[in-house]
Structures are given as C-alpha cells and as structure tokens.
C-alpha cells in the first residue's frame, strides 16, 4: 500500500498562479541576479550582505537617558535685532465698546421686521416699567398666599420627609440661616450671641391705636360675661379656646403638616365642657380617647399623611390649647362667684404684664431675652411688665374677693415669671412654622392665640396657686 502514495517524477508540474508583485528568493538566486547586474552597478554601491557604513565624526560622550552627574545644558535663543513683532489674532484687539446691530437701518427697520412676525409692534419699556410684572393672573409673583414645602424659603427646620437615622445632625444644624428673614413686629439687629452688646433698630409695623381699640373692645366683652356669672364666662372661654385651636391647626397646615383638625377641635371642646361639668376627672378620659381615636384616624386613612409626625402635632395642639385652656373651666367651677374672681384676677395680671412689657420694651429695650427666637422681647420689657403686674395686682386684684393683698402679690410673681415664658414659646412655634402671626382676627394683635398665649400658661399656675393658698374650697 505504500506504493499508492508514491509520486511519479515525470508527472508535469502545474503552472504557478501569478504572484502579487513580491517574491522571496533564496541566497543562490540572489547571488546569480547580483552577478547578472554586476556590470551595471557602480563599484561603490553596497552589495548584498555588506554591513552599513559607520557614521563619520566624533562619537557622542553620553547617551539618553542622561546620567545624574551630567551637567545641565542651556539652550540659548538668539533673537534677531529689529525684528517685527508677530501678528496677533483679531480677538486680542482691545474692545471698542460698540455693539453690532442685528437689523440694518434705523428704528423703522426694526418695527418693520417685527410687523412681519406679529400684528402688534414691540412694547418699549422705559424707567420703572421693568419693575412691573408681565403676568396678572395672580399665580406667581402676585400671589400673596403662604408658600409651603420646597417653595417656602423661610423654613429653617430639617425636612424630616427624607431624613434617616444616620444623618449628621450637627452638620445640618451648622448651616446658615436663609438670607430672607420673616418680618417681625419690632426688628432688633443683634451681634453674634457671644457678644453682650446689642444695637437695636425699632420699626414696629403694629397700628397702636387699632390695637388699643381692639383690646378695649375685647375687655368690655369679657367684663360683660364675667358680670353674668360663671356659666356665660365658661361659654366665652370655650369659644375663645376653640378659635385659638382653629388658628393653631391652620398654622400647622400652612407649615406643611396634616393634623387631624376635626379630631383636635372636638377634643378641645370636650375638654372645656367636661372640665366645667365634671371637673378634673373628665380630663384623663378625654385625653385617652383623643390618643386612641388619633391612632385610628390615620390608620383608617381619614387624613393621609405621616402618622407619627402629624399625630404628634395634633396632640401638641390639643395639649397646648385645649388642655391648658381647660384650667379656665376648672377655675370657674369654684362655688358662687369665686371662680369668676379667680379667672378675672388672672386675666388682669396677664394684661398688665403684656402692657408693661410692650411700653417699657418699646421705649427702653436694648437687651434681647432670646434673640434667636424673639428679638423684640427684651430684659427691660420683662422688668417693666413685672413691675406693672405687681402694681395692678396689689392695687386692683387684691380688692376682688377672695383675693387678698398677700395672694395678689404671689399672683403677680407667678404671672411675671410664667407669662413671658408662654409668649416666648409661641414665638418659637411661629418661627419654626415660618409665620409672623397665628391669625388675623384681632386687628393690631394678630390672632386670638397671639393675644392669649401667655394666659394659657398662666391658667394652670393660677389654679394650683389657689389650691396651694387654700383661697376657696369646693
């Protein structure tokens, strides 16, 4: 079988396919071709296999990379004397201050160009016309409605919607406050907190005559109710507390929260009525029911929102206005007209404290009590309010039975200490919500809660002061 694979030597070789112009030849064929071309090549032409010629000249002393001990070389450029400066590009030329025209010709050409695009000619603005808005639908710049959420530039608190447990609280708290500050009744420009010197600038926007007239009218209504007895006084107190609760829950909504307003108002009214009818025993029951129904309120989706934050805000409004206001009903439960006397003494002392602090603070106030919360509350105003409270309590309240000289003095002390605290706490909440006033019901004062914020803090203190001094017994 090996013979089957033998190739016959006399078998003709097939022609090779044409090449691509390059063919590799062997040494013998190359030598033969060189011998064939020997007569045509010059004698000094390189032959096949000859080494290249060595370069002529001195051999360089060093090679790249240069060694560390090689001396540095400097390249010296020889500039031509009297050589003209190189030509610069056109953008390097100094500005001429001229503005090229877009359209050729004068103003008439511009008007003709505009007339081809629209039926109206362009409206040329001059002077203060640029300050006028181009819109009159009240949807943007002319909208006076309060901004909420991301549009509210005055909010400084932390947006808890996107906060997590691993956030850096300290880094957030160190951020500067927005430049646009909310308007205050009395602006006091202060230096940093570590400085004890302050520069005050008083520019109150409160209409004092209107505020006095509103206060006198409210006082007349209160005195008429006090004269009719505890029942009508309790009804008036319930109405006032309910209006204050409405303002507070509305302020929460304007601040971007979603409290259970209806539940809070019903619970507030229940506290006022229950405390007057059943006394202290009704308060724990109403508060417990408010917590339970508040949980169900958000569980059933009556109000869709974050239940933790919004339920907490609802209970805050209930405790602040409803619970503290219910002590007015507890004071009115004392027999006879003693309850009316106790509540009247508390109201007179609080009014004296507010008036004294306002008058003295406006005239002599230079040192803020809490500049970051309420710059217009000064130490001088606090002292003036305390002095007038003591004076009114000893001169007027002490003559109302069963108040006496000693009990009226302690009433003045309690009101002087706790009343400003209630005012500052309300200012803290308003600043956190980005509001100037809780409402606009009382001209010159703001809202009802703005006028009765100190009284809400004073009512529990007066109630337990009456109990401590044993001024009356049930």
Q: DSSP string covering 216-276, please?
A: HHHHHHHHHHHHH-HHHHHHHHHHHHHHHHHHHHHHHHHTT----HHHHHHHHHHHHHHHH
447: alpha, beta or left, given left = phi > 0 and alpha = psi -120 to 50? beta
In this structure, of 120-134, 172-186, 324-338, the range with the lowest mean pLDDT score is 172-186
- The angle at the Cα of 326, spanning 340 to 311, to the nearest 5 degrees, equals 165
Say what the pLDDT of residue 30 is: 76
Question: Cis peptide leading into 326, omega within 30 of 0?
Answer: no
Pair 230, 332: CB distance under 8 Å: yes
Q: So what's the pLDDT on residue 121?
A: 55
Instruction: Render pLDDT for 203-218 as a digit per residue (tens, 0 to 9).
Output: 345 667 777 877 788 8
- Would the pLDDT of 303 be above 70? yes
Using the predicted structure, report yes or no on whether residue 185 has a pLDDT greater than 50.
no
CA 267 – CA 320 distance, rounded (Å): 12
**pLDDT by residue (tens digit) across 129-140?**
455 555 444 444
- Return the axis-axis angle of helices 338-364 and 379-395, rounded to nearest 10°: 140
Return d(Cα 241, Cα 448) in angstroms, integer. 8
Q: In sequence order, what are the residues at sequence separation of 6 or more whose Cβ sits closer than 8 angstroms to the Cβ of residue 298?
A: 260, 305, 307, 310, 311
The region of weakest confidence among 7-21, 43-57, 61-75, 410-424 is 7-21
What would the 3-class secondary structure string for 88-147 be? CCHHHCCCCCCCCCCCCCCHHHHHHHHHCCCCCCCCCCCHHHHHCCCCCCCCCCCCCCCC
Averaging pLDDT over each range in 50-54, 151-155, 160-164, 431-435, which range is the top one?
Answer: 431-435
Can you give the residue ranges of every domain in the chain?
230-335, 337-474
pLDDT winner (highest mean) among 115-119, 305-309, 336-340, 408-412: 408-412
* Token output for 185: 């009744």
Over the Cα atoms of the chain, what is R_g? 47
Contacts of 203 (CB under 8 A, 6+ apart): 186, 187
Read off the pLDDT of residues 54-72 as tens digits, 9 standing for 90 and up.
777 777 665 667 667 766 6
The residues, any chain, with a CB within 8 Å of residue 86's CB and separated by 6 or more, are: none
DSSP at 3? G
pLDDT band at 88 (very low <50, low <70, confident <90, very high): confident
Count of C-beta atoms within a 10 Å radius of residue 341? 20
Using alpha carbons only, what angle is made at residue 63 by residues 58 and 69, rounded to the nearest 5 degrees?
110
Helix (H, G, I), strand (E, B) or coil at 211: helix
pTM exceeding 0.75:
no
Is the pLDDT reported for residue 390 higher than 50?
yes
């Amino acid at each position: 079988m090996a013979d089957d694979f033998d190739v016959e030597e006399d078998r003709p070789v097939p022609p090779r396919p044409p090449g691509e112009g390059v063919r590799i030849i062997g040494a013998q064929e190359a030598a033969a071709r060189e011998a064939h071309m020997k007569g045509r090549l010059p004698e000094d032409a390189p032959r096949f296999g000859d080494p290249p010629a060595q370069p002529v000249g001195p051999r360089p002393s060093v090679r790249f990379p240069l060694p560390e001990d090689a001396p540095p070389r400097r390249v010296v450029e020889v500039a031509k004397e009297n050589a003209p400066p190189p030509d610069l590009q056109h953008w390097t030329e100094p500005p001429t201050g001229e503005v090229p025209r877009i359209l050729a010709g004068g103003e008439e050409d511009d008007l003709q160009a505009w007339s081809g695009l629209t039926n109206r000619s362009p409206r040329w603005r001059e002077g203060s016309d640029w300050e006028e808005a181009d819109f009159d639908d009240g949807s943007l710049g002319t909208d006076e409605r309060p901004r909420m959420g991301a549009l509210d530039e005055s909010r400084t608190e932390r947006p808890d919607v996107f906060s997590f447990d691993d956030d850096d609280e300290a880094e957030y708290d160190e951020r500067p406050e927005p430049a646009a500050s909310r308007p205050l009744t009395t602006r006091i420009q202060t230096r940093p907190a570590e400085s004890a010197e302050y520069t005050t600038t008083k520019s109150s926007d409160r209409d004092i005559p209107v505020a006095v007239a509103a206060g006198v009218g409210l006082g007349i209504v209160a005195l008429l109710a006090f004269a009719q007895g505890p029942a009508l006084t309790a009804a008036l107190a319930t109405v006032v507390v309910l209006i204050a609760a409405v303002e507070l829950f509305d302020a929460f909504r304007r601040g971007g929260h979603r409290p259970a307003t209806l539940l809070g108002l019903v619970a507030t009214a229940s506290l006022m009525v229950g405390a007057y009818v059943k006394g202290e025993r009704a308060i724990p029951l109403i508060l417990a029911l408010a917590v339970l129904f508040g949980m169900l309120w958000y569980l059933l989706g009556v109000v869709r929102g974050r239940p933790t934050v919004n339920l907490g805000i609802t209970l805050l409004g209930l405790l602040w206005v409803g619970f503290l206001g219910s002590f007015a009903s507890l004071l009115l439960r004392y027999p006879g007209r003693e309850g009316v006397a106790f509540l009247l003494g508390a109201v007179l002392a609080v009014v004296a404290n507010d008036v004294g602090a306002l008058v003295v603070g406006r005239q002599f106030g230079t040192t803020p009590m809490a500049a970051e919360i309420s710059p217009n509350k000064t130490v001088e105003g606090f002292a003036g309010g305390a002095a007038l409270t003591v004076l009114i309590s000893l001169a007027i309240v002490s003559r109302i039975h069963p108040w006496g000289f000693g009990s009226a003095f302690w009433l003045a002390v309690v009101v002087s200490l706790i009343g400003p605290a209630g005012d500052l706490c309300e200012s803290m909440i308003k600043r956190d919500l980005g509001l100037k006033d809780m409402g606009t019901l009382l001209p010159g004062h703001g809202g009802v809660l703005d006028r009765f914020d100190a009284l809400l803090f004073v009512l529990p203190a007066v109630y337990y002061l009456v109990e401590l001094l044993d001024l009356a017994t049930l």
